[in-house]
């Protein structure tokens, strides 16, 4: 019997968000050390657009997941792994909202309005405050690295299930387990 798979919408949201998070992280790393220039300002805009997109897609993803529960994990999976999988997914979702939120709050505290796609200004969430802006910048950095570490653990666990356990967990997302017609 083949394990159930995620819906096509869930798979697309998963992939698009993974690409946006990786891209946003890459842009963020490259922009911070640049001297002030039009390129640096453009990269900051792209980074912010990516963060807003991740937050918006996360809301859609949560609603989709509530309406379309994920396929069950293998029955032979140890209880501690099931608990770890649920906890890590919850933490991933939490970090996927906290990272963009901390970035928006940081920009607001630094007095820099976020303008999504150069068209729609987001309201500043807090008043301008240099000390708060510095704190939120550090928080944003720490949360971002936590998200990156947890995403790496997520990938490692999926690969472990695919190559070592051979239990079909990875195939639920990528349809490796489908029989060909």
Can you give the pTM of this predicted structure? Answer: 0.91
Q: pLDDT tens digits for the chain (181 residues)?
A: 444 889 999 999 999 999 999 999 999 999 999 999 999 999 999 999 999 999 999 999 999 999 999 999 999 999 999 999 999 999 999 999 999 999 999 999 999 999 999 999 999 999 999 999 999 999 999 999 999 999 999 999 999 999 999 998 998 898 755 544 4
Please check whether residue 3 lies inside any domain of the structure: no
Please check whether residue 2 lies inside any domain of the structure: no
Tokens of 158: 């999926």
Question: Whole domain around residue 55: which residue ranges?
Answer: 8-174
Counting the structural domains of the chain, the total is: 1
pLDDT of residue 1: 40
Tokens of 94: 């939490």
Please check whether residue 1 lies inside any domain of the structure: no
Cβ count near 120 (within 10 Å): 9
Is 31 strand, coil or helix? helix
Q: How far is CA 137 from the centre of its chain?
A: 18
Please check whether residue 181 lies inside any domain of the structure: no
CA distance 113 to 107: 6
pLDDT of residue 71: 93
Please check whether residue 109 lies inside any domain of the structure: yes
Please check whether residue 15 lies inside any domain of the structure: yes
pLDDT of residue 38: 97
Please check whether residue 179 lies inside any domain of the structure: no
Please check whether residue 180 lies inside any domain of the structure: no
- Contact between 170 and 162 under an 8 Å Cβ cutoff? The reply is yes
Residue 149 sits in a domain whose CATH number is: 1.20.950
């Amino acid at each position: 019997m083949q394990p159930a798979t995620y819906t096509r919408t869930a798979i697309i949201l998963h992939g698009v968000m993974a690409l946006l998070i990786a891209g946003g992280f890459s842009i963020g790393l490259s922009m911070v050390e640049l001297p002030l220039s039009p390129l640096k300002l453009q990269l900051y805009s792209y980074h912010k657009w990516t963060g807003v997109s991740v937050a918006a897609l996360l809301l859609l993803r949560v609603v989709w997941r509530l309406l379309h529960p994920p396929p069950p994990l293998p029955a032979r999976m140890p209880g501690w792994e099931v608990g770890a999988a649920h906890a890590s997914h919850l933490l991933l979702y939490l970090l996927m909202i906290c990272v963009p939120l901390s970035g928006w709050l940081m920009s607001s505290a630094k007095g820099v309005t976020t303008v999504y796609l150069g068209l729609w200004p987001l309201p500043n969430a807090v008043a301008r405050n240099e000390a708060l802006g510095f704190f939120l910048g550090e928080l944003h950095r720490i949360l971002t690295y936590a998200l990156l570490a947890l995403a790496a653990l997520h990938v490692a666990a999926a690969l472990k299930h695919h190559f070592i356990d051979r239990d079909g967990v990875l195939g639920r997302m990528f349809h490796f387990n489908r029989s060909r017609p």
